């Protein structure tokens, strides 16, 4: 668990897509799935972030059924307290797990959008940016 490549999106890639949507005549009335071209797993992201920041982050994978059970428990408690609760279906939860790949071809074509595709650049912008500055001692 936690080793499936995920569709991360760098903020600069999002900004370029948003600008492309504003400037493109083909984007009006459309919605786009945006995801970067570099895919890493949650496990790798947490491991690399911990290494870059010097913090002891620990990845705690959890089976989908366990997340579903916890969310259902919250839903039932809210309903028992007569509070509004959003009904979560198994299908909704599975879609949040990013089990299917996102196709961003339409965004790339319509918006003339090119997200970062170089792994090292992605890691620098997504993870190493959080590393504390290294100051040389005089």
* SS3 assignment, position 60: coil
pLDDT at residue 38 is higher than 70: yes
Question: Residue 128: is it exposed, middle or buried by C-beta count within 10 angstroms (0-12/13-18/19+)?
Answer: middle
Give pLDDT, residue 101.
81
Q: How confident is the model at residue 94 (pLDDT cuts 50, 70, 90)?
A: confident
- The arithmetic mean of pLDDT across residues 38-45, rounded, is 95
Q: Strands, DSSP E only, in the chain? A: 5-6, 40-41
Q: 53-85 as b/e, with b when 16 or more CB fall inside 10 Å?
A: eeeeeebeeeeeeeebeeeeeeeeeeeeeeeeb
- The arithmetic mean of pLDDT across residues 75-88, rounded, is 88
Query: What is the rounded distance in angstroms from the CA atom of residue 72 to the CA atom of residue 90?
Result: 10
Q: How confident is the model at residue 138 (pLDDT cuts 50, 70, 90)?
A: very low
DSSP letter at 112 equals T
Cβ–Cβ under 8 Å, residues 111 and 24: yes
Q: Hunting for tokens 């809210």 — which residue is that?
A: 78
Mean pLDDT of the chain, nearest integer: 91
Residue of 120, 91, 117, 138 lying closest to 9 (CA atoms): 117
117 against 98, higher pLDDT:
117
pLDDT at residue 34 is higher than 90: yes
- The arithmetic mean of pLDDT across residues 17-31, rounded, is 95
Q: Which of 8-12, 67-71, 94-98, 101-105 has the lowest mean pLDDT?
A: 94-98
Give pLDDT, residue 110.
97
Dihedral sign of CA atoms 111, 117, 120, 126 in order: positive
pLDDT at residue 45 is higher than 50: yes
């Amino acid at each position: 668990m936690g080793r499936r490549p995920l569709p991360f999106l760098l903020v600069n890639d999002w900004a370029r897509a948003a600008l492309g949507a504003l400037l493109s005549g083909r984007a009006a009335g459309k919605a786009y799935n945006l995801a970067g071209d570099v895919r890493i797993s949650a496990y790798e992201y947490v491991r690399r972030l911990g290494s870059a920041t010097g913090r002891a982050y620990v990845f705690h994978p959890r089976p989908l059924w366990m997340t579903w059970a916890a969310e259902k428990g919250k839903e039932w408690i809210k309903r028992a307290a007569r509070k509004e609760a959003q009904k979560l279906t198994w299908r909704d939860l599975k879609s949040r797990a990013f089990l299917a790949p996102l196709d961003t071809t339409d965004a790339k074509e319509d918006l003339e959008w090119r997200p970062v595709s170089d792994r090292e650049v992605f890691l620098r912008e997504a993870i190493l940016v959080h590393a504390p500055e290294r100051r040389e001692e005089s």
